[in-house]
Chains A and B, each alone.
Chain A
């Protein structure tokens, strides 16, 4: 089966392509890229006029909740939501039940995802058994089973010695350690950013330093060990500054942020809306600006979703006891596209941060339209507007603070391994 995508404006940062091209897909792989109108005939033709054609996005920070929390999300609903949002590959974090600290869980996730055929799944294995922060997992076996990185995401590795060992040991496999930076003694009991707004609302605060101290610690350990460190969900000005300095020193460090950290501030919490409760918490406008600068100057390599779907009952309750997290897969791209309108990133930069950059960090052959690569392609209409409607999410998690927002940039088609999904 061959497919020709015609007349689209193709952006592929992995090959410095920016312009009108035709793309031929054959046997689920990219066959070739041709000047506009020069693509050969195919069994099926997709007209991508007025649309942009890019490599399928890679979300290196997703919570699919299965196994264990299927009432919040399943691999089926999560990977379908991913495709809807333009992500043809997702990396589920290991905080499932049981934790993904064992190859049986890793293999289950991959098998289930490939049976379904929506987005591809590249699991992140736990750093420590049971994510308890005490003993390292069997990283070699997890890697063989398909894990592409290690993280105890959802909680930090508080013990600095264990973190040191993780950074040292994972070097053998050249896989990154993804650090959830949070000093839980400093953040304990907190439910939002500590600052003027938490003072007004009388909610317990999570200080910025609870993140920054751990970023600084992990940078020091990265320097000591030469391991590969990736900082998850960067949310503060000083975290950006620390990472920038670490990169200047030439350390093996990368970082990601999420759309809510460059879109919202803690001011939006004034009405105690639990859909805005997320960890790390929404910070201040200064932090938002710093994160944009970090994205612009390359300090932050990746835009990930930290898609954290929850059941309605987990959110529709007291703010203090409501679950942390935002259902992000189906809004991430349109929110990120605003960075292009604002001049923070150009389209090429944005696509890099959502495709080739995470793919390279994880060492997976994704995020590119190079001939021979699996045909994972996204076609979007950059001008079309839409209104976010959580009831139309494919994700089970309707917990989005962006419900009702008017956004621009509609994903028209998602192609995963040559399989075309058309959205309406």
Chain B
């Protein structure tokens, strides 16, 4: 294959070319077939070590990375905050170097502070994979979203994708904005003005305050999890009012294209950002996103290790 990932790390979609994004998704297709087999394991990365370094609680993403790594026959270590020495006051740098000294080939990191993966990539020889850093990026989420969209729509280019929710604090939104615009989709953002970051239009997206206006004619409707503490910080009066204004209901979904799909990165707040009927309805691909996440993460690990070997 002529296309390769250029970096030793996956820090964000912002750094990827459209070719790299396509490469990861194409590779994930292959792994998805593996996941359908009776024996779901391949020896591709035997002898490699993956460390899940999670400074923020996460079950879904960590489990997904863990399973993806195991399907590739790596050894996986989970290093999460409560169990780690971070609480004892160890610095981020020391934690990371300790993990590398254990012989990690991949460090999958999640942290509440944006830029932590970039910091680690500068001090570690291991490949750093960003599993979510503050409000910056969550690249594997966007990749699995694109993979899911492509599986249903057979293309990305020209699609209208609407993202509803807390754009300001969402790394999922940022990664998806970069990924979707790079692949030629039209991206609309819908949120109250308090949750729209400044000058976001310059990223090539359209901004709507009205969910009805934003959703009209969309091919893909993506809602984001609303962090309930936003209310306390003055971004919103209440989750109820948020649901009234921005909750994804059956009625609102009717404004989108008939064959529109509904996505959510999880975990969902039913009755806050999405109605149960929609979450569980025929247009929802939410559980498929989870399955595809596994394939995407396998593809990322595989492609980064391939790059390391040939280097």
Residues of A near any B CB (own CB < 8 A): 194-196, 198-205, 271-272, 313, 316-321
Q: CA A393 – CA B116 in complex, angstroms?
A: 28
- Which residue in B92, B112, B119 is a CB contact (below 8 Å) of A272? B119
Q: Is the CB of B119 within 8 A of A313?
A: no
Q: Is the CB of B136 within 8 A of A201?
A: yes
Closest chain A CB from B178 CB (angstroms)? 9
Closest chain A CB from B235 CB (angstroms)? 13
Q: Is the CB of A318 within 8 A of B119?
A: yes
Closest chain A CB from B165 CB (angstroms)? 15
Does B271 sit within 8 A of A, measured CB to CB?
Answer: no
Find the residue from A203, A271, A319 having the highest chain B CB count within 10 A. Answer: A319
Q: With contacts A202-B174, A203-B114, A203-B134 known, is A317 near B198, CB below 8 A? A: no
Q: With contacts A199-B200, A201-B136, A205-B198 known, is A319 near B114, CB below 8 A? A: yes
Contact string against A for B residues 107-124, beta-carbon threshold 8 Å, 1 for contact and 0 otherwise:
000011111101100000
Does B88 sit within 8 A of A, measured CB to CB?
Answer: no
Does B188 sit within 8 A of A, measured CB to CB?
Answer: no
- From 172 to 225 in chain B, residues with beta carbon under 8 angstroms from any chain A beta carbon are 174, 197-200, 202-203
Closest chain B CB from A302 CB (angstroms)? 31
- Which residue in B14, B93, B118, B171 is a CB contact (below 8 Å) of A317? B93
Q: Is the CB of A202 within 8 A of B134?
A: yes
Q: Which residues of chain A come closer than 8 Å to B171, judged between CB atoms?
A: 202
Q: CA A201 – CA B203 in complex, angstroms?
A: 12
Closest chain B CB from A282 CB (angstroms)? 15
- Which residue in A199, A201, A318 is a CB contact (below 8 Å) of B111? A318
Q: Is the CB of A320 within 8 A of B203?
A: no
Q: With contacts A201-B136, A202-B171 known, is A318 near B198, CB below 8 A? A: no
Q: CA A327 – CA B133 in complex, angstroms?
A: 28
Q: Which residues of chain B come closer than 8 Å to A202, judged between CB atoms?
A: 114, 133-137, 171, 174
Residue ID in chain B nearest A193 by CB atoms: B198
Closest chain A CB from B89 CB (angstroms)? 12
Q: Is the CB of B14 within 8 A of A318?
A: no
Q: Is the CB of A195 within 8 A of B92?
A: no
Q: Which 10 A-B pairs have the closest CB atoms?
A: A272-B115, A202-B136, A202-B135, A320-B113, A199-B197, A318-B113, A196-B199, A202-B114, A319-B115, A272-B118
Q: Which residues of chain B come closer than 8 Å to A195, judged between CB atoms?
A: 198-199
Q: CA A264 – CA B252 in complex, angstroms?
A: 46
Q: CA A408 – CA B159 in complex, angstroms?
A: 53
Find the residue from A196, A198, A272 having the highest chain B CB count within 10 A. Answer: A272
Does B91 sit within 8 A of A, measured CB to CB?
Answer: yes
Q: Which residues of chain B come closer than 8 Å to A321, judged between CB atoms?
A: 113
Q: Which residues of chain A come closer than 8 Å to B116, judged between CB atoms?
A: 318-319
Q: Which residues of chain A come closer than 8 Å to B134, judged between CB atoms?
A: 202-203, 320
Q: CA A256 – CA B118 in complex, angstroms?
A: 34
Q: With contacts A196-B202, A202-B174, A272-B119 known, is A316 near B93, CB below 8 A? A: yes
- 4 further A-B pairs in the complex, CB-CB below 8 A; given A199-B202, A204-B135, A318-B116: A202-B134, A272-B115, A318-B119, A319-B115
* Residues of A contacting B: mostly: loop
Q: Which residues of chain A come closer than 8 Å to B199, judged between CB atoms?
A: 195-196, 199
Residue ID in chain A nearest B174 by CB atoms: A202
Q: Is the CB of B197 within 8 A of A198?
A: yes
Query: What are 7 A-B pairs at a CB distance below 8 A?
Result: A194-B198, A195-B199, A198-B197, A198-B198, A199-B200, A202-B135, A272-B115
Q: Is the CB of B203 within 8 A of A200?
A: yes
Q: Is the CB of A317 within 8 A of B91?
A: yes
Q: Is the CB of B114 within 8 A of A272?
A: yes
Q: Is the CB of B14 within 8 A of A200?
A: yes
Closest chain A CB from B107 CB (angstroms)? 15
Residue ID in chain A nearest B196 by CB atoms: A199
Q: Which residues of chain A come closer than 8 Å to B133, judged between CB atoms?
A: 202
Q: Which residues of chain A come closer than 8 Å to B198, judged between CB atoms?
A: 194-196, 198-199, 205
Closest chain A CB from B95 CB (angstroms)? 11
Q: With contacts A202-B133, A202-B135, A202-B136 known, is A271 near B93, CB below 8 A? A: no
- Which residue in B92, B197, B202 is a CB contact (below 8 Å) of A318? B92
Q: Which residues of chain B come closer than 8 Å to A204, judged between CB atoms?
A: 135
Q: CA A32 – CA B132 in complex, angstroms?
A: 67
Q: Which residues of chain A come closer than 8 Å to B202, judged between CB atoms?
A: 196, 199
Residue ID in chain A nearest B117 by CB atoms: A272
Residue ID in chain B nearest A203 by CB atoms: B114
Q: Which residues of chain B come closer than 8 Å to A313, judged between CB atoms?
A: 91
Q: CA A318 – CA B119 in complex, angstroms?
A: 7
Closest chain A CB from B129 CB (angstroms)? 17
Closest chain B CB from A247 CB (angstroms)? 30
Q: CA A219 – CA B114 in complex, angstroms?
A: 36
Q: Is the CB of B197 within 8 A of A271?
A: no
Find the residue from B93, B116, B119 having the highest chain A CB count within 10 A. Answer: B119
Q: CA A234 – CA B80 in complex, angstroms?
A: 43
- From 70 to 127 in chain B, residues with beta carbon under 8 angstroms from any chain A beta carbon are 91-93, 111-116, 118-119
- From 40 to 87 in chain B, residues with beta carbon under 8 angstroms from any chain A beta carbon are none
Q: Which residues of chain A come closer than 8 Å to B92, judged between CB atoms?
A: 317-318
- Which residue in A194, A201, A316 is a CB contact (below 8 Å) of B114? A201
Contact string against A for B residues 161-176, beta-carbon threshold 8 Å, 1 for contact and 0 otherwise:
0000000000100100
Find the residue from B113, B133, B136 having the highest chain A CB count within 10 A. Answer: B113
Q: Is the CB of B91 within 8 A of A320?
A: no
Q: CA A203 – CA B197 in complex, angstroms?
A: 10
Closest chain A CB from B132 CB (angstroms)? 10
